[in-house]
Amino acid sequence: MLGYVLPFSVSCNPVVAMPLALVEGVPCGIQVVGRSGADEELLSACALLETCLGSLPRPEDVKHPRLRTPVARL
């Protein structure tokens, strides 16, 4: 994921990579990029996204369809 975030960090744009949903038991995410110097605005937008979309189950509660055990914490 660093490869996606790094270009924006180098250009001084704040960036947040956050989990979004589970697709067939596998987590997927979204990357949100803000204007340079707008860190607080970006964090507020991400908090609003999390409030609207809800939170994902904790990793230990997620069972991958091909595995018999819960997904390990990263």
Within-domain flag for 66: no
Within-domain flag for 72: no
pLDDT at residue 25 in the model: 72
Phi, psi of 34 (to 5 degrees): -110, 170
Within-domain flag for 71: no
Within-domain flag for 8: yes
Within-domain flag for 40: yes
Within-domain flag for 36: yes
Q: What's the whole-model pTM score? A: 0.63
* Average pLDDT of the segment spanning 57-72: 55
State how many domains the chain has: 1
Query: For the chain, how far is it from start to end, CA to CA, in angstroms?
Result: 13
Q: Which domain holds residue 42?
A: 2-61
Within-domain flag for 29: yes
Does residue 56 surpass a pLDDT of 70?
no
The per-residue pLDDT for range 7-41, each reduced to its tens digit, is 777 888 898 888 877 777 777 888 899 999 999 99
